[in-house]
Amino acid sequence: MGALPVCSGKELLGMITDRDITVRAVAAGQGPSDTCVSDVMSEHVRWVNEDDSTATAVHHMSDMQVRRLPVLNARRELVGIVSLGDLATHHTVQADEALREISTPSQPDR
């Protein structure tokens, strides 16, 4: 899956990835039965609205170097996730651009 949304009802609270679990829990010696999702999830998540353009999604993916974005409706409720793979099946040029940007080495978290 790669990334899972963390919600309270339909409200998006954050996202959790295998990297979040590895870096924030396993590396700190925390076991899976002792650690809450809210302790290791990424809270400040970029998202797109369901009526945003695919160009907006590509921009956010490139800027944040992520392959998946939550999709929210006008009430800011989670309605889906758009992935780079979704874009690649319909918008190859934009997906190529996003993949190039996402794959550019970034500064390590400090």
Shortest CA distance to 47 belongs to which of 20, 23, 11, 19?
Answer: 11
The pLDDT of residue 36? 93
Instruction: Report phi then psi at 24, rounded to 5.
Output: -95, -20
Percent of the chain past pLDDT 90, that is, above it, reads 48
The pLDDT of residue 95? 56
- Number of Cβ within 10 Å of residue 5's Cβ equals 19
Residues 6+ apart with CB under 8 A from 7: 13, 78
Structure pTM?
A: 0.76
The pLDDT of residue 87? 81
User: What architecture is domain 46-104?
Assistant: Roll (3.10)
Q: Please identify every stretch of the chain with a pLDDT value under 50, giving residue numbers as ranges.
A: 110
Positions of CATH 3.10.580.10 in the chain: 46-104
Shortest CA distance to 14 belongs to which of 48, 46, 36?
Answer: 46
In three-state secondary structure terms, 38 is helix
**Greatest C-alpha distance within the chain:** 44
